[in-house]
Amino acid sequence: MKRKRIVYLTFYFRPDLCAGSFRNTPLLEELAKLAKKTNTIVDVYTTLPNRYSTYNVDALEYEQLDNVNIYRIKLPAHKSGMADQIKSFWHYYLEVNRLNKGKAADLVFASSSRLFTAFLGLRLAKKSKSILYLDVRDIFVDTISDVIDNKAIRFMMLPILKLIEKRTFNYATHINLISEGFSEYFQKFRCKNYSYFTNGIDPEFEEISNFEGPIVTNRIKRIVYAGNLGEGQGLHKIVPQAALALKDDFEFFIIGDGGAKGKLLKAVEEFQVSNVTFEPPMNRSKLIERYKEADFLFMHLNDFDAFKKVLPSKIFELAASDKPIIAGVGGYAAKFVRENVTNALLFEPTDYHAMATLLKEYSYKREERREFINKYKRKAINEAIAQSIITYL
């Protein structure tokens, strides 16, 4: 029987620290198991760790693991600005095309928060006249419309992006949408096969509950945020203001890096708050220790229309703990939290008055979310996605 080949595209992969890496690394493991049974190899094209300029870790440029080949492309040095991101992706795009020259694929899988990973999948699938299966983690055109302030740049970029989006999503055989909030947006495309496999909870987070531990009431409460510090999170619009309002009873610990960190540092300085501490990105074992030390776990999205459709992976990570969650989200994410996550303090994005009021009035408790954990285990979700992909072969 002729050996089949799956091309797997993900800009981020282990050991990088981000949602794309955390989704695609275990998903590949499940897909590889099923692929082996059908005499199929999986070629993964990703990048060497690059999510944060302040996080450096060694990784092999090429790994061969049974029926899986992992190609990690070295990107030019960059930070998190738009120009740097375009330059980095262009390099990735050219290298993946070079590595696939003369190679045919039976199926191309692309996991895409940025539209261009999906577009790269389109180009490779067309060359091989193969199946294109997309895992869409964000609506890039929507996000760009909100994030880019320069009207001239937005005016020039959006028509091109919409054309790329239309061609890519119309060609796809199957599209998985990570949030059901995306469903209405995708009705305009010709693709007929949709699924809604969400993010999930990784095994390392399943057992981080300190449910039996003592609650200390007579000390300053610790609020921990861990993740990207970009425009999408908008922490500069909420953390300094909330820290000032809560300065006597709460302290913020901000772990991570990103393109808007400078704005956040500047705002903290302008508000002259001393109850905000910063730490660089860290691996998961260290992060779990920080979560255990926290009193509250915090997540926030900027007040952009695009984010009313998303379902952030951070919800699943934080809800695996027994700690109360502070969530500044709107739209579908808020609906999901209300319906699925107990012991959560929910407020509209950037509304620091509401956040401060909720915290001041809150009667502190911890609550194990065992039902949520069992429902959203990453392994079960990945098994279902992998089965969906392999069905097309």
Q: What is the model's pLDDT at position 212?
A: 56
* Conformation bin of residue 227: beta by default, left when phi > 0, alpha when psi is -120 to 50: left
Within this chain, domains 4-200+377-391 and 203-375 share the same CATH topology: yes
Residues present in the chain in total: 393
Q: What is the 3-state secondary structure (H, E, C) of 67-103?
A: CEEEEEECCCCCCCCHHHHHHHHHHHHHHHHHHCCCC
In 3D space, the residue among 154, 134, 240 whose CA is nearest the CA of residue 195 turns out to be: 134
pTM: predicted TM-score of the whole model, two decimal places: 0.91
Grouped pLDDT means (10 residues each) for the chain, 393 residues: 92 90 95 96 93 66 96 81 82 96 97 93 97 96 82 85 96 97 96 96 80 69 96 96 96 95 97 97 92 95 94 96 96 98 98 98 94 95 98 95
Task: Please return the burial class of 154, using the count of CB atoms within 10 Å of its CB with bins 0-12, 13-18 and 19+.
Answer: middle
Secondary element (H or E) of residue 236: none
Structure tokens belonging to residue 351: 């509304």
Q: What is the model's pLDDT at position 246?
A: 97
β partners of residue 278: 254
Q: How many CB atoms lie within 10 A of CB 54?
A: 12
CATH fit for domain 203-375, picks 2.60.40.1930, 3.40.50.2000, 2.40.440.10, 1.10.3720.10 = 3.40.50.2000
Q: What is the model's pLDDT at position 332?
A: 97
Instruction: Catalogue the E-assigned strands of the chain.
Output: 4-10, 40-47, 62-65, 68-73, 107-112, 131-136, 174-177, 194-195, 221-228, 250-257, 276-279, 296-300, 325-328, 344-347
Q: What is the model's pLDDT at position 84?
A: 79
CATH 3.40.50.2000 corresponds to the domain 4-200+377-391:
yes
**Domain parsing of the chain, residue ranges:** 4-200+377-391, 203-375
